[in-house]
Amino acid sequence: MALRFPTRAERPGRQPHAASETPVWPEFLYHDPVLDRLFDRVIGEYAEFNFYAWDDEREEVVGVGNAIPAAWDGDIASLPDGGIDAVVEARFTEGAPTPSVLCALQILIAPEYRGQGLSRRMIERMAEIGRDHGLDTLIAPVRPTLKHRYPLTPIDRYLSWRRQDGTHLDPWLRTHERLGAGS
């Protein structure tokens, strides 16, 4: 599999890709009023921070990474409670502070490419793009991918679940943890 990871600035326009044709999130995530209102601006105004995984052999996009520059002082206690919504709204607020980090918004991967290490490459590419723009820290308000299977379990308890090897039960949290992410 020969993949390249161009930004939307390098390869603008609508690109067909399997990751957007099939719903990948729980239904409620498709009804976020903040992202419904501002996501087109994220893509349009920050094209250099949004990228694709392009498969040269298939000549199609097989993954998408979205991120936005954000201001953060490095103190975990000062991260916004509103997650991605708060970060995106702050970026488009008049007089927004100068960005100091890159904030991951999402990574989507076509179903047939999952489980092959592409998510790790996508996170690494996202961090590289940030560094290329002087943003040496990548923050990611991560959504656990298996939490919906345990709707009655409080999130704090779910986040404490570990496999026998000591890593997170949740595969998306595990991927971030393996790349050195903190809490």
**Mean pLDDT in each 10-residue stretch from start to end of the chain (183 residues)?**
88 54 55 83 93 88 93 90 89 93 92 88 95 95 87 94 94 85 67
Report the pLDDT value the prediction gives residue 23, as an integer from 0 to 100. Answer: 54
Answer CATH for 3-141 from 3.40.1280.10, 3.40.50.2300, 3.40.720.10, 3.40.630.30: 3.40.630.30
Report the pLDDT value the prediction gives residue 17, as an integer from 0 to 100. Answer: 45
Report the pLDDT value the prediction gives residue 11, as an integer from 0 to 100. Answer: 79
Long-range own/partner contacts, residues 34-42 (CB < 8 A, 24 or more apart): 34/84, 34/85, 34/88, 34/89, 35/84, 35/85, 35/88, 38/88, 38/89, 38/92, 39/88, 41/92, 42/66, 42/68, 42/88, 42/91, 42/105
Report the pLDDT value the prediction gives residue 88, as an integer from 0 to 100. Answer: 93
Which tokens belong to 87? 């970060």
Report the pLDDT value the prediction gives residue 142, as an integer from 0 to 100. Answer: 81
The residue extents of the domains of the chain are 3-141, 145-183
Q: Quick one: which of 129, 131, 140, 135 has its CA closest to 179?
A: 140
Q: Quick one: which of 35, 7, 38, 37 has its CA closest to 130?
A: 7
pTM: 0.84
> d(Cα 19, Cα 1) in Å, to the nearest integer?
17
